[in-house]
Each structure stands twice: as C-alpha cells, then as structure tokens.
Amino acid sequence: MSLPSLRLLFAVLALALLLPALGVASKSAIESGRRALAAAEMSEADRSKAAADLDAAMVNEEAADEFAEQIARLRADAARLPARTNELRRALALDQDRALETWAARLPRQADAETLERLLNQERTTVAAINDEIEETGARLAEVLSGTPHSATDIVVLGQQAEALAAPITPAKDEPKVVLEARRIAQTSERRRVSAELELENLKQETAIARQQVLELSLSELKARLALHLARMEVLRRDIASLGRRDIDALVERLATRAAEFEATTGLVSQTRDENTALGAELLNENMALSADRSRLTALETARDAGAEALRESRARLELGARNDQVGRWLWSERRQIATPTALSEALDATRDALGTTRLRLFNLSAESRLLLDLPEAITVLTTEYVAENEDEEEAAPVDADALTVLLKDRAEILGRLQPLLERRVAALEQSEAALVAQTAAAAELRQLLDRHLLWTASHAPVDTAWIARLPEGFRDLLKPSRYLALTDRVVEELKAHPLRWTLAIAVLLGLFVIRRQAPERIRAEANAARGSAGDNLGSTARALLWTLIGTAPLLAALTTAGVLLLAAGETGRFTDSAGQAVLGLIVPASGFLLLRWVVMEQGLGHAHFRWVRSRRETLRQILPILSAVVLPSYLLALLAFYRNVELSNDVEARITIVIATVTLAAVLWYALAPKRVWAARGQSVEPSRLRALMRCGLPLAVLAIVVLALRGYVYSAGLLLQSVLATITMCVVLSVVFGLIGRWLVVGEKRLRLRQADDRDAGRVSGTAEGTPEVTLDMINQQTGRLLRALRYTAFATAIAWVWMDLMPAFARLDEIILWSLSETAADGTATALPVTLKALLLGLIVLTLTGIGARNLPGLVEILLTSRTHVDAATRYAITSVLRYAIVIAGMMIGLGMLGMRWSQLQWLAAALTVGLAFGLQEIFANFVSGLILLFERPFRVGDIITVGELTGRVTRIRTRATTIVDFDNKEIVVPNKSFITGQLVNWTLSDNVTRITIKVGVDYGTPPQQVLDLLLTAAREHALVMPDPAPQSWFVAFGANSLDFELRVFVASVDHRLVVQNDLNIRIADLFAEHAVNMAYPQLDVHIRHLPGMPPAPSAT
C-alpha cells in the first residue's frame, strides 16, 4: 500500500472515532459563531458570507447526524443477518406440499359457499401483500447489486474530499476573525459529513455480500410462500366450484321435475316454465364461466407479476453494466417472452366487453328480483304483459294463479343464486381488467428498456474451435426427421379439423394462380397501348400496375396461408408454431423481390411505362434469381432459429444462414452498382455519379459488417440488422414503383400540355405572356417538376430508411434526448415552462423549411401540369392558384418549421404585433397593393391583352403581378401601375366581355347646308367602309345648332379595338371627299368685329 493511501486510511479512522464529539462541538460552535456574528461590526458582504457559511455548516451537521443514524441501523441489521439467514433457510426447508395438505385438512368440512368465498378473499389479500413484499425486496436487492460497483468509486471520491478538508484554513488579508471562524466551522462540519458518509459507504461495502444473500433468501422465501397461497387459492376455487356445481345441479334437476309437472300447461304458465328452465341453464353456464374467469384471473395476475419481476430484474442486470453473451441471451429471452401489444389489447377489449355484458345482465336481473318480492303484484304485471302481447289471439288460455305462484317462487330462488354468481363474475372481471392494464404498462416499459440495450449486447461467444466442433450437432438439429414428421402430422390434423376453412383457402389460391396466368399477356397489351397514339393517359399504366400486383399475389397468398396454417396447427413455443411465424416473417422481403421481378419483366411497368434503361432491367433480372434462391431461404432458416429460441439453433443455424445471406447481398450490391448497370441513366454513355461509386463501396462494406457482428457473437443483433436490410430493400422497391408512377403521370401531363399549347397556337388563342409570371415553357416545367420530384424522392427514401432503422439505432432514438436549447413559455396563470428543443426537432425543422423552399420554388410547373393537361384554364387563373398555393405553403411550412425549432406563437406574438403596426403605418401601401393584386387575380376585372383606361392613362395590359400591373400605352411606354389604383379608382375596360366598340365622328357644316344631305353623305361614307360593322348599323344624327355650324355625328361600330384608328382615319378622309364633291362646306369658327368709333387719321408728316 502506498504512503498516501495509508495516510488517507488513518485520517478516515481518526475522523470516524471523533464523529460523536465533533457533532456536539460543531453545533455548539455554530451557535457561538452566530452570537459572535450578531455582536460584531463588519461590512454587509462579510456578514452575509459568514452567515452563509454557518447555515451551510448547520446543513452539513444535520446530514452527518442522518448518516450516523443510518450507520447505527445498518450495524444493527448486520448484527441480525446471521440469525435472519438461518431463519430463512429453515423456512425454505419446509415441505410446501405437506403444509398445503395440513392447511386443507383444517378447512371446515361442511363449509358453505359464502365461507369459502371469504377465505378466498383473505388468501387473495395475502397474495397481494406478498407480491408487494416481493417487489420491495427485489428493489432492495437491485439497489444492493447496482450499488456495489459504484460504492468503490464513491469511497475513493469521498476519501479524497475528506483528505482535502483536513487541510488547515489560510486566513485572507484583512479578514475579520468572525468570518474566519465561520469558515473554519463550515469546513469542520463538511468534514464531519463527508467522514460520516464515507463510513456509511464502507459499511455498505463490507456488508453487501451478506445483505445480498439475505435478500436473495428473502426473495426465495417470499416466492415459496406466494406459491403456497396460490395453491390454497386454487383449492378454494376448486371447492367453491364443486360446491356451487352440486347445488346448481340439484336446482336444475328440481327445475326439470317442475317442468315435467307442468308440461301440459299452456299460456303464461307454460312461458314461465320455459323461462325458468332457461334461467337454470344460464345459472349452470355462469357458474362454469365464473370458474373460467377465476382461473384466467390467476393466470393474468401471474403474468402481471412475472412481467413486473422481469422488468425489475432487467433493470438490475443492466445497471450492473455487464455486456457479455450471458446477459445478451438473458435479455433476448426476456424480449421473446413479452406479450405483444396486439394480444394484450385484444385480451383487454374482450375482458371489458364481457364485463359490460355481465353488468348489464346483473342490472336486468336486479329489476326482475325486485318485482318478485311481491308475488301477487308480479302475477298481475306478468298477466297484463302477456295479454298485451297476445291480444291478437282469439282465445287466451286462463291463468292458473297457483301454478304461476309455484313457478315464480322457483324463479326467485334461481335469481337468488344467479345474482351473487354474476356479482362474483363482475369482481373477477374487474380484477382481470386491472391485471391486464398493469401487464400492458409493464410490458411496454420492459419492451422499451430492452430495445434500448439489447441490440449491441453480445448474445453468443465468438466463433472459435468449440463453435466449429458444434457444427455437426447443429446440422443434425436442423435436419432432424422426427421434427418435420410431427409438423406434417399436425398440419394434417388441422386440415381434418377444419376442412371447410382450408378448402376455401386452397380454392382461393388456385383461383389466384389461374388468374395469374393471364398477367404477362395483359401487361404486354398495356405496354403496346402505352406506346400507341392513345397512350397519353394513365389508364394503361394503372391497368399494368393492377396486373403486376395480380402477378405477385398468388405466391404471397400462399406464404400467408402456409404461415397461418402452421400457426393454427402448432402449439405456442413448439416447432410448428415457430415455423409458421418464420414463414409469415418471410412475406416482407419476398413481396419486394416478387414485385421487382414483375416490374422489370420485358414490356412490364419498368420497360414500357417507367422507361427504365435496358441495362438496369437486365441487371435486376440477373440478380433476382440469386436473391430468391439464396437470401430468402437463408433468411427463412434464420427466422426459424430465432423463433425456436434454442441455444444450439441460434448459435449454429442462425449464425451460418445470416453469414450466407449477408455475403450474398454484399456481392449482389457490388455487382449491381457497377457502372452502366442499375445506376445507368438514359442518354448517357458514361455514368459520372460519385454517389454511385460511394454507394458501391459503402453498401457492401456495411452489409459485410453484419457478417463481422455475427462471427463476433452478436448473432441476434446481426439477425435484426439483416431483417432491416431486407425491409429497406422492399421499401426501396415500393418507393421506386410509386415514384415511377408519379414520373409517368408527369410525363403524360407534359405531353397533354404540349398538345394543348400547340392547339392554342393553331387557334390563335396564345397571344402574350401569362399573368403574373413569364410564359411557363415546357423546359421550365421539366426543370421545376424534376427538382420537386427529386426532393420528394430523397425525402421519401430518407424517411422510409429512418422508419425502418429507427428502433435499431440507439443514436436515432437518442436524437430526441439531446437538448440543444430551451425556450421559456409563460402560461395563463403566470407560471413559466421550459420548452426544450432537441436535435431531432432541429433536424425535422430544417427538413420542413427546406421542403417548403423547394415546394414554393417549383410549384408553377406542377400547377401547369395539373391544370392545363386536362382542362383549359387560362393563365390568370393558373397564376392566381399558384400564388395562393405558394403563400400557403410558405406560411404553413414556416409555422411548422419554426414551431419545431421552439418558436411558438407566444414567442412570436410581439413580432406579429410589431408587424401589424408596421403594416398599418410604413407598409400599408405595399400591403394594400398586395391584397388588391389578389383581388384582381380572382375577380379578374381585366386580363392580359385587354385595353383599359385608368385615370388619364390608356393602354394594353401586358403583365399582372400581386403588387403592380404593367400597361403599355400607345406610345409604347411601359407604365407600372400599383394595383390599389384599380380597386379604389374608376377603371374602364374596353375589351372585358366584348371587343366591339363604337366610334363617334363629329362634323360641323355651314348654316344653309341641307341637313338631310349631310346625313346621307355621312351614312354613305360609313357603309362604304369594309371594317364598319353592319350590325349594329351605322347612324348619323343632327345633334345641335352650333354657334358657327350645324353639328352632326356619325356613329359606327367596329369589331376590334385595333380597328378604331384605321376606321376613324378612313372615315374622316372619305367624309372630306364627299363634302367636297357635293359642295358642302366645313364650318369653322368666325368672328365679326363691329367698330363703333373710328379714330381720326394722324396728320401727314411735313416735308422738309
């Protein structure tokens, strides 16, 4: 032993001897220090520090006293341990069978049912108390077992603390004596507490083995007593059932005699007689049901207690920190024995249904019993009801009151027996319900506990020479003929026991195989339809998918039928039952391989509809036979070994088959991911993908890691990983088909869109750009839908893989336990609650925000395909729908994503309030224009290409956005007008519903010109022009006597706004020509000047 260790040991011993004296001295010193502190003069900081040291010293003194009391109790218990051990050993040495016989002999021989029921309740109470003791003792034993390895570490830490506290205190500069003394008292008290705790830990360490032995003996003795009292309960139940059966048999026999006595009666007496006979049969059935319910209650309580004990022992074993193969096998054995949630849920539902039915029946019998308390009144009521029910009969048989009285007395006796029986059934069912609820909770907690620890725990020893020596024995166990002969016999017995059920199942299977023969031809026919001129719809693809599923259905149905048949034929835990579970477990990977086989067939979905390249289809067709011939049988044998749960089969058969399956999978992945095979892309001669190269190296190595785990002894872990790999392959196949269908739908939509745009161009309907966005071309649609589909594909594959592997990877499960930050939320009552943001929430929030951005960015292309491919929706409606959907996606995605990051509405409400104020003041114009833009997009007062007038501005609309609209006037100037102007001001749309407009030409002629001549000339000019519409016909009017002219108007209509200037120009020229030909003068303004006073002439200049 080193010198520091010896010094530490002596210091601890010295402190232990001085503990009592130190306790008294320290407390008196604390009180003296407080008095000195109250009388001393010092700064408030020093006073507060000294007071805090004295308070801490008092806390340490109280803790030291508590440790001293625990030490005293532990020493007293340790002194009694030898006597307690001998007592428990003597109790365990007693003969339990003899004790049961002695107790049974003391039971009253002529005890009635009530006495036996009282004794049964007493035993049930005793059993409940013993179970509580077992749970308490098990918890104490787990504490001792788990505390032993930790105690050594605690002793070292406490010893170091005690040695550090033994050092003297160094006074600080200018430190008052009272403060220094308070520090010294605090250090002394802390040293006493640490020394007391150290002594307690040393004593626990010294007595741990003895206490563990006593607790284990106590647990064994309690279980022995529990078994004895359970046996007593079984004896009492058997006696109660026997006694009740004898009494009920006597009553039923008496009822049969009474029925024979009144056999010739009719009417109400006959009906009452038959009802009594039925009640007697019900009494007999309820008695048997009560016996079954109590037996089931015992089994449920045993299962509940076993589950609680398994949970307790699992915690204890896991807290020990061992991870060897023995612990692994034990954990997996416990995991295998846990009842499934489905079975527990079904049992609980059945119990609650039976409980509700029994309670209702008891309620009805109680009402009938109350009626029979007054027999004359009961006879009257029954007679009245009988007459009312049989009023249509011509003659009613007279009621024999005496016979009816006798029968009703018998009924009262039957009900007096039946009601207590139903009450006992209700009590048993209620206890069964409580036991099932407790068992369900314990099973869920145990399952969660085991799933978090058993994956990376070794279940077997590594492969060595001893394992190689066991190979022949393992193969003999696998190929044992008697086991398969017994399986065949059980299957034949099951077929004979239920011939109709299995005959129908086989008939359905044969029908599926018959229909399956048509699938290849039908799939090829749909391939031809998809490539034809009519292949622009999804009908052929949907039918091809249906026939593909029909092709996969027979073999999957055969596997399901075989698995169900083996489960029905076998007993739980036997080879036949294990074989049935293994066959059912094979369905998931088999379905993936079968579906892929039919998809990649020539002219199948992958070829004709999904347009997979030839190299991919050929590669998949090459590897599928290998997977089906090697991987599936190996996986089936591994499942069979695991479900059998036999050490030899798990160690040899499961390990070998897992290695074979995983090595085959690794080789297949290496081959399939080579260049120009599965990863090949259409139109590329060389595949430059780095991801493919990375996956070609990474995936086979990851699969081969499962082989290493199996060889190292992690057989169960390797089996679960293999199961997850096969489930991942199946999920990838299903998702590939799903996204193939989506891609096919997009291709068909793009084709329809291309045809629609071509038709629009031919018809002259496409004249400009779309509203609110540049014209969405096919290239843009391809890019946008490609990005959207790619994002959805990556997200779906990542989600599927995470879902498959979530339960196996503790790192995934722990993502929700890693808290990154916390946000405080104040409730309505003012209490603050911390809301943690975990790493899982951060990742999900980022994924949601990323998908939100991708969806909002690539939405227009998808809307084009959705709306334009089948229906002729104009650009304005498409842009309106796209805009609203984009804003909805952004708002919803931001709310969900930010909510996952911890930004609740309570944290954002002030930001929303500030934003509202900003909108009301600084941003009100922008917000008003935005809302006005949405109104314009949905109400559509004008469209792109319309000629409008707003205020003093007239022009053609070229673009509509959510904030502003662009107008090109007749000077070819682009003018951006805020949308608010169109909503709040007056708008004139020249071409909203009709392009026909009127042109008005005003003409003034000289006074004296014949008006009719002018009107005729104007009409002549209008009728001669080809662009003037004949309907409505041109009109000319003499409208006014002007100041200088006779005023006329010519009103004509043109079919398009584009014709206005042309027609107006031509008409003006023609009118001028006609007026000149007919000597009609155009009037113009004239001014007559009248001079009243003419000034004199200036004198002539004189000659010089």
Task: Please state the rounded mean pLDDT for residues 105-133.
Answer: 82
Collapsed DSSP state (helix, strand, coil) of residue 1094: coil
Collapsed DSSP state (helix, strand, coil) of residue 714: coil
Q: What is the pLDDT of residues 226-238, one digit of tens each?
A: 888 888 888 887 8
Q: What is the pLDDT of residues 74-91, one digit of tens each?
A: 888 888 888 888 888 888
Q: How confident is the model at residue 416 (pLDDT cuts 50, 70, 90)?
A: confident
Q: What is the pLDDT of residues 505-516, one digit of tens each?
A: 999 999 999 999
Q: Name the residue among 581, 599, 454 with its Cα closest to residue 519.
A: 599
Alpha-carbon gap, residue 800 to 44, rounded angstroms: 65
Q: What contacts 1017, CB < 8 A, 6 or more positions away?
A: 1071, 1074, 1075, 1078, 1080
Q: What contacts 103, CB < 8 A, 6 or more positions away?
A: 232
**Mean pLDDT over all residues of the chain?**
79
Q: Per-residue pLDDT for 348 more than 80?
A: yes
Q: How confident is the model at residue 100 (pLDDT cuts 50, 70, 90)?
A: confident
Share of the chain above pLDDT 70, in %: 81
Strand bridging mode 964-969 / 819-826: unpaired
Q: Which one-letter amino acid corresponds to residue 1013?
A: Q
Alpha-carbon gap, residue 837 to 844, rounded angstroms: 11
Alpha-carbon gap, residue 862 to 789, rounded angstroms: 10
Alpha-carbon gap, residue 418 to 283, rounded angstroms: 6
Alpha-carbon gap, residue 484 to 490, rounded angstroms: 10
Q: What is the pLDDT of residues 684-729, one digit of tens each?
A: 555 556 777 888 888 999 999 999 999 988 888 888 889 999 999 9
Alpha-carbon gap, residue 245 to 287, rounded angstroms: 7
Task: Please state the rounded mean pLDDT for residues 1027-1033.
Answer: 88
Collapsed DSSP state (helix, strand, coil) of residue 602: coil
Q: What is the pLDDT of residues 798-847, one digit of tens each?
A: 778 878 877 666 545 556 666 777 766 655 555 656 667 777 777 777 87
Alpha-carbon gap, residue 548 to 510, rounded angstroms: 18
Q: Which one-letter amino acid corresponds to residue 31?
A: E
Task: Please state the rounded mean pLDDT for residues 329-348.
Answer: 77
Alpha-carbon gap, residue 455 to 706, rounded angstroms: 12
> What phi and psi, each to the nearest 5 degrees, are found at residue 251?
-65, -40
Q: How confident is the model at residue 19 (pLDDT cuts 50, 70, 90)?
A: very low
Task: Please state the rounded mean pLDDT for residues 26-38.
Answer: 78
Q: Per-residue pLDDT for 874 more than 70?
A: no
Task: Please state the rounded mean pLDDT for residues 474-491.
Answer: 88
Name the H helices within 774-874: 778-805, 810-814, 839-857, 859-868
* Cis amide leading into 1032 (omega within 30): yes
What's residue 766's pLDDT? Answer: 44
Q: Per-residue pLDDT for 17 more than 60?
A: no
What's residue 664's pLDDT? Answer: 95
DSSP 901: T
**Complete DSSP assignment for 386-450:** HHHHTTTSSSPPPP-HHHHHHHHHHHHHHHHHHHHHHHHHHHHHHHHHHHHHHHHHHHHHHHHHH
pTM for this prediction:
0.61
What's residue 849's pLDDT? Answer: 80
Task: Please state the rounded mean pLDDT for residues 1034-1040.
Answer: 90
Collapsed DSSP state (helix, strand, coil) of residue 1048: strand
Is residue 787 within 8 A of residue 858, CB to CB? The reply is yes
Q: How confident is the model at residue 1096 (pLDDT cuts 50, 70, 90)?
A: low
Q: Per-residue pLDDT for 354 more than 50?
A: yes
Q: Name the residue among 64, 18, 15 with its Cα closest to residue 163.
A: 15
Alpha-carbon gap, residue 439 to 640, rounded angstroms: 28
What's residue 767's pLDDT? Answer: 44
Task: Please state the rounded mean pLDDT for residues 156-181.
Answer: 79
**Complete DSSP assignment for 448-475:** HHHHHHSTTS--SPPS-HHHHHTHHHHH
Is residue 493 within 8 A of residue 573, CB to CB? The reply is no
Is residue 577 within 8 A of residue 566, CB to CB? The reply is yes
The token pair that represents 816 in the structure block: 């929700």
Three-class SS string for 534-584?
CCCCCHHHHHHHHHHHHHHHHHHHHHHHHHHHHHHHCCCCCHHHHHHHHHH
Is residue 959 within 8 A of residue 769, CB to CB? The reply is yes
790 Rama sector, left if φ>0, alpha if ψ -120 to 50, beta otherwise: alpha
Picking from 330-344, 417-431, 478-492, which range would have the lowest pLDDT averaged per residue?
330-344
Is residue 602 within 8 A of residue 528, CB to CB? The reply is no
Q: Per-residue pLDDT for 762 more than 60?
A: no
- Please give the residue that has the higher pLDDT: either 227 or 879: 227
Q: What is the pLDDT of residues 896-922, one digit of tens each?
A: 777 777 666 555 566 666 666 665 666
> What phi and psi, each to the nearest 5 degrees, are found at residue 1038?
-95, 110
174 Rama sector, left if φ>0, alpha if ψ -120 to 50, beta otherwise: left
What's residue 831's pLDDT? Answer: 60
Task: Please state the rounded mean pLDDT for residues 931-944.
Answer: 76
Q: Per-residue pLDDT for 1058 more than 50?
A: yes
Is residue 834 within 8 A of residue 823, CB to CB? The reply is yes
> What phi and psi, each to the nearest 5 degrees, are found at residue 477?
-65, -40
Alpha-carbon gap, residue 864 to 869, rounded angstroms: 7
Q: How confident is the model at residue 619 (pLDDT cuts 50, 70, 90)?
A: very high
Collapsed DSSP state (helix, strand, coil) of residue 340: coil
Q: What is the pLDDT of residues 249-299, one digit of tens each?
A: 787 788 788 778 777 677 788 888 888 888 888 888 888 888 888 888 888
Task: Please state the rounded mean pLDDT for residues 949-959.
Answer: 84
Task: Please state the rounded mean pLDDT for residues 418-438.
Answer: 89
Residue span(s) of the chain under CATH 3.30.70.100 come to 995-1077
Q: How far is CA 780 from CA 561, 838, 857, in A?
A: 51, 39, 12
Calculate Rg over the CA atoms of the chain: 49
In sequence order, the β-bridge partners of residue 957 are: 967
Q: Which one-letter amino acid corresponds to residue 381?
A: V
Residue span(s) of the chain under CATH 2.30.30.60 come to 922-993
Alpha-carbon gap, residue 801 to 790, rounded angstroms: 16
- The domain defined by 922-993 folds into SH3 type barrels. (2.30.30)
Estimate to the nearest angstrom the gap between the alpha carbon of 324 and the chain centroid. Answer: 35
The token pair that represents 812 in the structure block: 């995934």
Picking from 353-357, 622-626, 806-810, 1033-1037, which range would have the lowest pLDDT averaged per residue?
806-810
Q: Per-residue pLDDT for 660 more than 90?
A: yes
Alpha-carbon gap, residue 159 to 165, rounded angstroms: 10
Q: What is the pLDDT of residues 210-222, one digit of tens each?
A: 888 888 888 888 8
Cα dihedral 694, 699, 700, 705 sign: positive
Q: Which CATH architecture has domain 995-1077?
A: 2-Layer Sandwich (3.30)
Q: What contacts 1015, CB < 8 A, 6 or more positions away?
A: 1036, 1037, 1038, 1048
Task: Please state the rounded mean pLDDT for residues 155-179.
Answer: 79
Is residue 700 within 8 A of residue 666, CB to CB? The reply is yes
Alpha-carbon gap, residue 923 to 139, rounded angstroms: 67
Collapsed DSSP state (helix, strand, coil) of residue 838: strand
What's residue 21's pLDDT? Answer: 45
- Size of the chain, expressed as the number of residues it contains: 1104
Task: Please state the rounded mean pLDDT for residues 189-201.
Answer: 84
Q: How confident is the model at residue 8 (pLDDT cuts 50, 70, 90)?
A: very low
> What phi and psi, each to the nearest 5 degrees, are found at residue 320?
-70, -20
What's residue 1049's pLDDT? Answer: 93
- Please give the residue that has the higher pLDDT: either 33 or 868: 33
Alpha-carbon gap, residue 543 to 525, rounded angstroms: 10
Share of the chain above pLDDT 90, in %: 14
What's residue 1095's pLDDT? Answer: 66
Q: Per-residue pLDDT for 630 more than 90?
A: yes
